[in-house]
Amino acid sequence: MREGMFIKKNVDKWNSYQHVQTNDPDETAERFITLVDDLSYAKTFYPKSKVTRWINGIAAGIYQNIYKNKKEKYWRVFTFWKYELPLLFKKYHKTLLFTFFVFLLFILIGVFGSIKDETFIRGVLGDNYVDMTEENIARGDPFGVYKSDNPFTMFVYIAMNNSFVALLMVIGGLLAGIGTIFAMWQNGLMLGCFQYMFFSKGLGISSVMVIWVHGTLEILAFVIASTAGFIIAQGILFPATFSRMVSFKMAIKDALKIMIVLVPVFIIAAFFESYVTHLMSNTFDKENNIGLPVWASAVILLLSLAFILWYFVIYPIRLHKKNYQLQKDSFIKLHLK
């Protein structure tokens, strides 16, 4: 039998087994036996076909439901962070890449606008902020804005504010992604203008060593939050084979899971900004040069970048190559020879 005819003959049955649950043990057993027969046939005649992997995944899911052991809640938390979330990100890597380039484009627009028009920076960042920064630079304390008498208060405020901004980026997906794009536009322009302002004053490398201590986690977390917003928009606009409501609910669930991982990221970023960036700002204060060494900033920056790239990009790809796949809010490992 040709592969196309084999798929056409059985696709409705496979879709039903995958998406329609049953609590009847006899029905479950019958499904499993049928899938094993189909899988044996597919492995014999279409061993490298995607349909073989699909059937194997459905059969593995049923097998897991039959024979799985009840795990403790702590084990569920462990598997969620170690397998489920990374595999979820692998599913949306293209969306993540698209989001990153859109955000980068908005940053470059901010830089380009600042180069072409001196008043552009003030229009984006505001006169008060620009004047304050220029005064700090003039008196030899360019990063004085990061100094605070109460770092803990600053920590709480930054963590809450960043979480709120990220939430707006996610909720913006409900407007078919328009709200998410608008939030990215605002933050991208601000970042581009902000960085250009320091580079134009000859403080570019210094600003990277100070600002990106916390900015690496913070900005990339905003990119991931925007990705969650686009996931919701994608669920609304492109439901694929699902009804629009089912697609929307699935997208919301995935977006909320992504927001879970951002909470500790924003907390760590807020801690860095309130305490570490505060110390790094003293490093470039000509009057009070009692901050952290530059190498410490570089280490934190590189470790932050390595963590983001590893957990959200490299590790999900490695799991996928090892045949780990998502299956109904959990994960399975396919055993394809």
Q: What does the pLDDT look like over 165-220, one tens digit per residue?
A: 999 999 999 999 999 999 999 999 999 999 999 999 999 998 998 899 999 999 99
Task: Provide the pLDDT confidence category of residue 337 given band limits of 50, 70 and 90.
Answer: very low
Structure confidence at residue 78 as a pLDDT band (50, 70, 90): confident
In this structure, the number of other CB atoms found within 10 A of the CB of residue 312 comes to: 22
Assess whether pLDDT exceeds 50 at residue 326.
Answer: yes
Question: Which is higher by pLDDT, 151 or 249?
Answer: 249
| CA separation, residue 218 to residues 71, 205, 211, 271, 286 (Å) | 34, 19, 10, 11, 28
**Which ranges of the chain would DSSP assign to H, the alpha helix?**
3-19, 25-45, 50-67, 73-79, 85-91, 93-116, 118-125, 127-138, 151-171, 178-200, 204-237, 244-271, 277-283, 294-309, 315-321
Residue 336 pLDDT grade (very low, low, confident, very high; cuts 50, 70, 90): very low
Highest mean pLDDT among 7-21, 65-79, 301-315: 301-315
User: Which secondary structure element, helix H or strand E, spans residue 325, and what is its range?
Assistant: strand 324-326
Unique residue bearing structure tokens 């996931």 = 231
More confident position, 248 or 2: 248
Extract the tokens encoding 317: 């790809």
**CA neighbours closer than 13 Å in the CB half-sphere of residue 180:** 28
The highest-confidence range among 72-86, 224-238, 277-291, by mean pLDDT, is 224-238
- How far does CA 222 lie from the centroid of its chain? 8
Cα separations (Å) of 222 from 53, 243, 266?
Answer: 35, 30, 9
Q: Residue 44 pLDDT > 90, yes or no?
A: no
